[in-house]
Structure formats: structure tokens, C-alpha cells
Amino acid sequence: MVIKPSQIPLPPNWSSSSNKITFKDMDPTKDKVYNGCILEVRILDWAYLSASIHTIIEDENGDIRRFALFNWPLSGEQNADMIKIIKTFCPNVKMLIVNPYHCMIDRGQNIIRVEGPDFIKFDTSKIDKLCHVCGKEAKIRPCSVCKMAFYCSKDCQKIDWREFNHKSICKHLKNFMQI
């Protein structure tokens, strides 16, 4: 079931949206569309698909929010759609979001809701240059199993495996990449 937004952002206009904002500029107690603003974030976690694409994002201050993207074009082929989503919305991809919608959901949780892919620009230039755990740029080594998670050290790899549960998704990432 898709919940209809209480507010609708203006159509994206990248040339006139120049007011850069962060999560600190957003009122966490209100549903509000920040028309004319651009939010720059980094994806922290692997995306999953339900009625929308969901992941976790971080702004330049290190503040974290949930993220939901609606109206992503799907081909109807579930495996192909998931591969495209996993490759597009993976850790360390940077996104610019125009007219971000700060939305309140159940139990006071905040989410950044985006109504479609036209509201986002992606920067994948650092995808394999930043550690998936600490975000530092260093000599990066891929996970030996899935080849999709990247680490700057054995310590970060252990943290991801134990604390962030990479162990449970690693085989699934590997399987998707072999399709």
C-alpha cells in the first residue's frame, strides 16, 4: 500500500534550485517540502524495494535519515529491477535531491520522500573509492565474496560483518551480481 503524500513538491527545476540545505535546516516536527532547495547526501546502506525504494542517507554534517523514492520505473522483471536498484542505490553513491520532502511517518520517524527519479542526480565517482563503513577515502579492498562492499581495513570489514550484518546480505549481493 502506497501512502499518498500530504504535500506535493513542485516539478524539479535544477537551474533555479540553488539553496543548499542539510537536515539541520529541516524542521523535524513538520511535514514540509523544501521547494527551491537542494539536499546533498550520501547513501549509507543497500537499498531494498517495497512500494518504493528505501535506504539510509547521510548529509554533510553526518546526520542520518531514512529515504524513500517513489515512481522508480520498473521493467516488471523482478531480478533485473533489483540488480538495477542495488547497483544504483549502493553505499557511497552521492545524491543531489531537488525539492526534498521531509515527511513524518509512524511513531515520530522522519523520512526524506522523493516523488520520482527526476528529483535526483547521482554521483557514482566515489563508489569504489570510499570505505563502506567509515566513509574514508583510502586504499580500498572489496569483500572477497560479493565484491560489492569496499573496506579500507580489516577492522572496518569486521565491523560491517558483525555489527552492520553484511554477513546476512553478502551471499544475496553475490547472487544478484551473477544473474
71 residue type, one letter: N
Domain co-membership, 132 together with 59: no
Q: How confident is the model at residue 179 (pLDDT cuts 50, 70, 90)?
A: low
Confidence tier at 125 by pLDDT (50, 70, 90): confident
Q: Which pLDDT does position 95 carry in this prediction? A: 96
The reply to whether 116 and 155 lie within a common domain is: no
In this structure, the strands spanning 101-104 and 110-114 are antiparallel
* CATH number of the CATH domain containing 26: 2.40.50.550
Average pLDDT over residues 83-107: 88
Please check whether residues 98 and 46 belong to one and the same domain: yes
Q: Are residues 105 and 70 in the same domain?
A: yes
Residues 95 and 137 in one domain: no
143 found inside a domain? yes
- Confidence at residue 3, expressed as pLDDT on a 0 to 100 scale: 64
Structural domain including 53 reads 13-127
Judgement on whether residues 20 and 106 belong to the same structural domain of the protein: yes
Do 102 and 29 belong to one domain? yes
29 domain-assigned? yes
Q: Are residues 31 and 98 in the same domain?
A: yes
pLDDT in tens, 46-78: 898 888 999 999 999 999 999 999 999 999 888
Distance CA 156, CA 161 (A): 9
Global confidence as pTM: 0.82
- Looking at the structure of the chain, the number of domains it has is 2
- Mean pLDDT estimate for the chain: 87
pLDDT in tens, 145-155: 988 888 999 99
Which pLDDT score, from 0 to 100, does residue 90 have?
Answer: 86
Sign of CA dihedral 65, 121, 61, 20: negative
| Mean pLDDT for the stretch of residues 123-139 | 82
Residues 173 and 114 in one domain: no
CA dist 166 → 2, 81, 170 (Å):
29, 21, 6
